[in-house]
Amino acid sequence: MQLTLTSQQNIENLRLILATDVGSTTTKARLFKKMENGEYRFISSGEAPTTVEKPFEDVTVGLKNAIREIEELSGYKLLAESTETSILMPFNGRDAGVDLYVSTSSAGGGLQMIVAGVVKTMTTESSERAALGAGAIIMDSLSIDDGIPLHKKIEKLRFLRPDMILLAGGTDGGTKTHVLEMAEVIRAAEPKPRFGVSYRLPVVFAGNKVAAPDIVSMLSEKFFVKVTENIRPVLEIENVEPARNIIHEIFMEHVMSHAPGYEKLVKLVSVPVMPTPAGEGKMMRTIAEAYGINVLGVGLGGATTNIYSVYEGKFVRSVSANLGMSYSIGNVLKSAGVKNIVRWLPFEINESELYDRVGNKMIRPTTIPQTLEDLMIEHAIAREAIRLGFQHHKSLARELKGVHRERTISDVFEQEVKETYIDMKKINMIIGTGGLLSHTPRRQQAALILIDAFQAEGVVRLTVDSAFMMPHLGVLSTVHPRAALEVLEKDCLVRLGTAVVFSGTSEKDKIIGHVQLKTGSETYSLDVRYGELYCIPIGLNVKANLQAKPESDFDVGVGKGKTVSATLDGGVVGVIIDGRGRPLTLPEEPDERKRLLLKWFSAINAYPLKVGEEI
């Protein structure tokens, strides 16, 4: 049911809003309500396994199950009496129906793309940013100058089954030879679409506009070609938005329609379904813009790990397609190695046992940890998935200066020598979302996972998505931005607190600085020892004045030995003083490492155990 939202008045009159995310593992439904004071609030949630499997093979079955949970918990009747899933609309003002239904989705493996350009570090990299920003997973990227012979490129492409190809290359009016050469490769390889053999694979051309007619005539016979504005009209400008928009359009029209049950979902929603990462990314940008800060975010999902950065106005999303907490959990173990996982565990585990537990989670992706030991294993793996995902992100977040979409020639050359432009000491907020981070039994666990995985530095606020609703709010913001922001503020972002991190290395137990925190009523003062973690209970909505004086070889964000004075926000966890040093290293000796981990967990009350207690 595509709704006609013609006027602002119609939008303001939305009283009850249902939003869902049909994820790769779980379908999550959220219900938002306009309260008597006119403010929008989150009121209920329901979740159920996504039903792409037999015997259902229809995503609307899982959708119905998730919505039914909301019905049971909220008392509102949302589903129409029918064998097919159908949402009651509009809201009757009392106990049934909703005025708006929106959804995001990453089921069906999300949007899988191939990008192709001419120069690897220029058009191909821009294409990657456009595709990733649109919420895609990049299966492969090809460039004329990537050193792979043409016939090998063709061979690689032939066996891929993407949902779409993005082709770019050349500045407007410049030489068209190279981008046509890349089109020849695509034509020769003729990759087939992932779903169905009967429809033509979409190719988005966002290159030299002079080459567009040649591209169309070369590819139209075998592909569905859509031409859009050049991603690099001139060398100094990156213009990714038109390509992103076309990708979204094609995702809706061509890709979604081929996943099981999607044709039904598409009919149910009031506005077009958005890819989950695009919804999530939209909210990360909204937060950075609303507070005027640098934000680093992670969407830790079942199949993928999305990292978002909004740094000095530049938005970059990266996705590590095979790092996740369920479907791809085996790949985290494989990529990180047993040693890197085990280093975060305060207990012994036999290597085979660890492999089996990870393998069983991979093949039963919807299960959740029942024991403390299982929970800690998942948290250890989460740290490694984020760490590896962030490593990948840094390779994409490489611009140095300039406003978003604009890059100078000097940036292009400079970026080749710098790993990333992200300086952790300048990150103001870290946001965690995704099933695991939103649902940690204690919020302390999420705070510590984020600090450890990103190796946070300086003074940084920590937040998590309370009940995994950022994608929902992202798609809602396309219809009703005020409602999305109000729910974000009041119900979505959980303020965990602030981390104050001492970067540097020293000897165990040596004093590396001094911290004083003053609230209206209390003063906390402590000497920070190397290797220690502290938690000061500055609660939610409480501000504290910080004075952090590091020793000469330590840095709290403004330079070695320099004192930081700032006003901090408390939170449900409090203010975490991290004296463990950076880079964070754990002892090699197992017993010592376990003791230390237990001490840290105990310091912030992360798990239901005391120092030295065996699990």
Among positions 347-366, residues that touch other proteins (CB under 8 A) are 351-352, 355-366
Q: How far is the CB of 154 from other proteins (least distance, A)?
A: 5
Q: Does 51 bind other proteins (CB under 8 A)?
A: yes
Minimum distance from residue 279 beta carbon to other proteins (Å): 19
**Closest listed residue to residue 234, CA positions, set 435, 405, 475, 113:** 405
CB of 574 to other proteins, least distance (A): 19
Looking at the Cβ atoms of 337 and 612, the one nearer to other proteins is 337
Name the 3-class secondary structure at 219. Answer: helix
**Closest distance of CB 357 from other proteins, Å:** 6
Min dist. Cβ of residue 322 to other proteins (A): 6
In the list 36, 37, 83, 197, the residue contacting other proteins (rule: CB under 8 A) is: 197
Q: Which is nearer to other proteins, 3 or 375 (CB)?
A: 375
Closest separation in Å from C-beta 350 to other proteins: 11
Q: Which stretch binds other proteins (CB under 8 A): 9-17, 54-62, 289-297, 591-599?
A: 54-62
The only residue of 84, 95, 190, 423 in contact with other proteins, by rule CB under 8 A: 190
Q: Which is nearer to other proteins, 400 or 606 (CB)?
A: 606
Q: Of 600, 612, 8, whose CA–CA distance to 343 is shortest?
A: 600
Containing 247, the helix (H) or strand (E) segment is helix 241-250
Among 70, 96, 154, 288, the residue binding other proteins under the rule CB under 8 A is 154
**DSSP symbol at 193:** P
Cα–chain center distance at 516: 34
Residue among 172, 184, 229, 414 that touches other proteins (CB under 8 A): 184
Residues 380-399 contacting other proteins, CB under 8 A: none
| 168 scored as a contact of other proteins (CB under 8 A) | no
Please give the residues from 293 up to 352 whose contact with other proteins meets the rule CB under 8 A. Answer: 303, 322, 327-328, 330-331, 333-335, 351-352
Candidates 122-130, 149-157, 514-522, 557-565; binding stretch for other proteins (CB under 8 A): 149-157
Among 6, 8, 9, 55, binds other proteins (CB under 8 A): 55
Which stretch of DSSP H or E encloses residue 501? strand 493-501
Q: How far is the CB of 109 from other proteins (least distance, A)?
A: 4
What is the C-alpha to C-alpha distance for residues 391 and 268, in angstroms, rounded to an integer? Answer: 39
User: Measured from the CB atom, is 107 or 492 closer to other proteins?
Assistant: 107
CA distance 264 to 426: 45
Q: Looking at 30, 176, 314, 317, which residue binds other proteins (CB under 8 A)?
A: 176
Cβ-contact 142, 148 below 8 angstroms:
yes
Q: Which residues contact 600 (CB under 8 A, 6 or more apart)?
A: 448, 533, 580, 606
| List of residues 6+ apart from 483 with CB closer than 8 A | 14, 17, 32, 34, 40, 476
What is the torsion angle, in degrees rounded to the nearest 10, for the CA atoms of residue 326, residue 467, residue 541 and residue 575? -10
Smallest distance, Å, CB 292 to other proteins? 35
Among 13, 367, 410, 525, binds other proteins (CB under 8 A): 367
Q: What is the DSSP letter of 197?
A: S
- List the Cα angle 123/126/129 in 5-degree steps: 155
**Count of C-beta atoms within a 10 Å radius of residue 606:** 26
Two structure tokens written together for 442 = 């204690």
Residues in region 490-509 near other proteins by CB under 8 A: none
When the beta carbons of 327 and 530 are compared against other proteins, the nearer one is: 327
Q: Min. distance of Cβ 68 from other proteins in angstroms?
A: 6
- Pick out residues in 572-611 that bind other proteins (CB under 8 A): 608
The amino acid present at 422, given as its one-letter code, is: I
The full 3-state SS of 262-290, as one line of letters, equals HHHHHHHCCCCCEEHHHHHHHHHHHHHHH
Amino acid identity at 213: P
Binders in 520-549 for other proteins, by CB under 8 A: none
Going by their DSSP bridges, the two strands 16-22 and 574-579 should be labelled as unpaired
**Residue 17 or 376 having the CB closest to other proteins:** 376
Q: In the bound complex, what is the minimum distance in angstroms from residue 441's beta carbon to other proteins? A: 3
Q: Per rule CB under 8 A, is residue 375 in the interface with other proteins?
A: yes
Q: What are phi and psi of 570, to 5 degrees?
A: -80, -165
Strand ranges, E, within 186-337: 202-205, 224-227, 274-275, 295-300, 305-311, 314-320
Selected from 7, 8, 370, 521, the binder of other proteins by CB under 8 A is: 370
Interface positions, 422-441, toward other proteins (CB under 8 A): 439, 441
Residues 77-116 that bind other proteins (CB under 8 A): 107-109
Q: Determine if 215 is a binding residue for other proteins (CB under 8 A).
A: no
Contact window for other proteins (CB under 8 A) among 2-10, 178-186, 234-242, 524-532: 178-186
- Residue 118 CB, shortest distance to other proteins, in Å, is 12
Q: Which of 110, 516, 575 is nearest to 319 (CA)?
A: 110
Q: Which of 336, 326, 371, 352 is nearest to 453 (CA)?
A: 336
Among 77, 442, 518, 549, binds other proteins (CB under 8 A): 442
Binding positions for other proteins, 239-268, rule CB under 8 A: 259-260
- In 3D space, the residue among 467, 425, 421, 416 whose CA is nearest the CA of residue 443 turns out to be 467
Helix (H) or strand (E) holding 218: helix 212-219
DSSP strand pairing (511-518 vs 574-579) = unpaired
Residue 145 in the binding site for other proteins (CB under 8 A):
no
**Cα separation of 341 and 524, whole Å?**
35
**Nearest distance from C-beta of residue 119 to other proteins, angstroms:** 16
Q: Which residues 117-136 are close enough to bind other proteins by CB under 8 A?
A: none
What is the rounded distance in angstroms from the CA atom of residue 468 to the CA atom of residue 450? 16
